[in-house]
Structure 1
């Protein structure tokens, strides 16, 4: 059976798979049941699967006539957030949807009996929310011999409307800076005898607000967490722990933002005498647009939804660890498809909802895209 038709005719099974994965919701590096569920579905379809002893990621393959590989990537982990008064894992970023679509792309192709020109690889990745999963899959050779790589992400309605799709999501670079300010304790009646960690943090906030990016570059860095003062109220606090959120539209802009933030921190150290240690954590790079992969995604979208439902590009201030794959492998032709699905109120909102009908045409778009890529000559 034609894979596109198979997806349509198995819509109820696909919807059930999505609901099953939605109910499993497991945090980063703990995707055990999710991985087992996907593994079993692939195994039942006769698809070979590689597992790992040190994490729950999976790599499945459908052999082609040639060694070169076209790959799809899905993320599996859920967020930890408050939902209905309880702190628990929750799929409010759509990773359950992404895993469902990539899984059913593999199942649809496997049942068709078609032998693609190039081998098709399906990467189910852990720990995207921590910005670490893609790096781990790279260490495990997930991109060996990969020529094209496609990802997909559900999008809020204000970015990509329902029954529309974009061939590229242009994510920003994002990172979290975690740091410690070390001052000197003193009696509050003698503030000149100490170095107030809170006052140093306040000065740092002002320095960061004054950062000006070079013309043509966009970026921001702001303090989002600050903790200090475990002593009596009449003691100058010695230590403050802080976090900064950094965002930039390009990787070059993020490098510039890091330099400007470093200068701001050094100025605070010089002006206050406090010691400040810091490092960037949970960093993800900005998207690197590949026109070849984007063009194939455009063709796949228009084939399934029609040209009137093509959104040329989706610009997102959010980050995605998918872009480590291309940052570390600039020769790979890759793009992440933005799927309109009626999503509201927004990604990471605990009550995020979308229209499951999008899972059908999203899976069909992925299936079309990898077959188009499989037919491309290696450049």
Structure 2
């Protein structure tokens, strides 16, 4: 049976899978039940699945005529956030939907009996929300022999309307700087004897606000957390702990922001006498456009939804660790598809919802994309 038609006939199974994964919701690096559920569904269909001792990621494969690989990636983890007054794992970023569509793409192709020209690999990745899962999967050989790589992410309605899709999501680079300012305590009546960590933090805020990128670059850096002080109000505080949110539309702009932030911090140290230790955590790179993968994804979208429902590109200020795959492996043809699905109020909102009919045409687009890529002549 044609796998595209198979997905249409099995839409009830896709909805059931989505609901099951939605209820399982597990945070980064703790995706034990989610992984086990996906693994069982795939192995029951005769698909070989590789597991790992140190994490819950999976790599499934459908052998092709050659060892060259077309890969499809899904993320599995949920956010840990407050929902109705209770902090719990919650799928408000759509990873349950992504895993559903990728899993059923694998099932549809396997059960169709098609032998693809290239081997098809399905990467179920942990810890996307930590910005660490893609790096781990690469260490475990997920990209061995990969020629093409596709991902997909559900999009808010204001980015991609329902029933439409984009062949590329142009994510920004994003990172969090964690830092500690160390000054010198003193009696508040003799401030000249100390180094006030709060005043050093205030000077840092001022200097960060002066940072400007060239007109052709877009980005921002701002202090989003600051904690300092003692129980006593008459002591000059010695320590302040801060966080900076850093975002840039391109990887070059992110590099410039990091250089400018380093200069600002060094200036604060010089002017105040405080010491500042800091590092960038939870960093993800910006998207890198690949025309070959983008054009294939566009053809897949058009084949399922028609040319009128193709959105040329989706620009998002958010970040995605999918782009580590391309940053670290520039020879791979890769793109992330943006799926319109009526998503509201927005990604990471605790009450996020979307039209589940998008699971069907999303899986069909992914199926068309990997099969098209499998047939492409070697470049």
User: What is the TM-score with the length of structure 2 in the denominator?
Assistant: 0.99
Q: Distance in 1 between matches of 2:161 and 2:298?
A: 16
In the alignment, structure 1 residue 57 sits paired with structure 2 residue 57 = yes
In the alignment, structure 1 residue 321 sits paired with structure 2 residue 314 = no
Structure 1 residue 297: Cα displacement: 0.3
Corresponding position of 1:298: 298
Q: Distance in 1 between matches of 2:348 and 2:209?
A: 26
Structure 1 residue 377: Cα displacement: 1.1
Report the secondary structure of 1:352's partner residue. coil
Is the 8 Å Cα contact of residues 231 and 237 (structure 1) preserved in structure 2?
no
Give the gaps of 5 or more residues in structure 2: none
Give aligned pairs, total: 379
Structure 1 residue 214: Cα displacement: 1.7
Report the secondary structure of 1:100's partner residue. helix
Corresponding position of 1:350: 350
Report the secondary structure of 1:253's partner residue. helix
Q: Distance in 2 between matches of 1:126 and 1:4?
A: 27
In the alignment, structure 1 residue 362 sits paired with structure 2 residue 355 = no
Structure 1 residue 215: Cα displacement: 2.6
Structure 1 residue 230: Cα displacement: 2.8
In the alignment, structure 1 residue 29 sits paired with structure 2 residue 29 = yes
Is the 8 Å Cα contact of residues 217 and 253 (structure 1) preserved in structure 2?
yes
Q: Distance in 2 between matches of 1:191 and 1:363?
A: 64
Is the 8 Å Cα contact of residues 181 and 197 (structure 1) preserved in structure 2?
yes
Is the 8 Å Cα contact of residues 149 and 334 (structure 1) preserved in structure 2?
yes
Report the secondary structure of 1:345's partner residue. coil
In the alignment, structure 1 residue 19 sits paired with structure 2 residue 33 = no
Q: Distance in 1 between matches of 2:196 and 2:313?
A: 48
User: What is the TM-score with the length of structure 1 in the denominator?
Assistant: 0.99
Report the secondary structure of 1:8's partner residue. helix
In the alignment, structure 1 residue 105 sits paired with structure 2 residue 130 = no
1:41-73 Cα shifts (integer Å, max 9, x gaps): 001100000000000000000000011000000
**1:1-379 to 2 correspondences below 5 Å:** 1-379=1-379
Structure 1 residue 144: Cα displacement: 0.2
Q: Distance in 2 between matches of 1:34 and 1:304?
A: 29
Q: Distance in 1 between matches of 2:36 and 2:343?
A: 28
Report the secondary structure of 1:279's partner residue. strand
Q: Distance in 2 between matches of 1:283 and 1:59?
A: 24
Is the 8 Å Cα contact of residues 92 and 350 (structure 1) preserved in structure 2?
yes
Is the 8 Å Cα contact of residues 181 and 239 (structure 1) preserved in structure 2?
yes
Q: Distance in 1 between matches of 2:373 and 2:45?
A: 23
1:316-346 Cα shifts (integer Å, max 9, x gaps): 0000000000011000000000000000000
Q: Distance in 2 between matches of 1:50 and 1:84?
A: 38
Aligned alpha-carbon RMSD (Å): 0.5
Structure 1 residue 15: Cα displacement: 0.2
Q: Distance in 2 between matches of 1:136 and 1:231?
A: 43
1:346-379 Cα shifts (integer Å, max 9, x gaps): 0001010000000000000000000000000111
1:279-298 Cα shifts (integer Å, max 9, x gaps): 00010000000000000000
Report the secondary structure of 1:222's partner residue. strand
Q: Distance in 2 between matches of 1:342 and 1:120?
A: 30
Report the secondary structure of 2:257's partner residue. helix
Q: Distance in 2 between matches of 1:53 and 1:280?
A: 28
Structure 1 residue 109: Cα displacement: 0.4
Report the secondary structure of 1:127's partner residue. coil
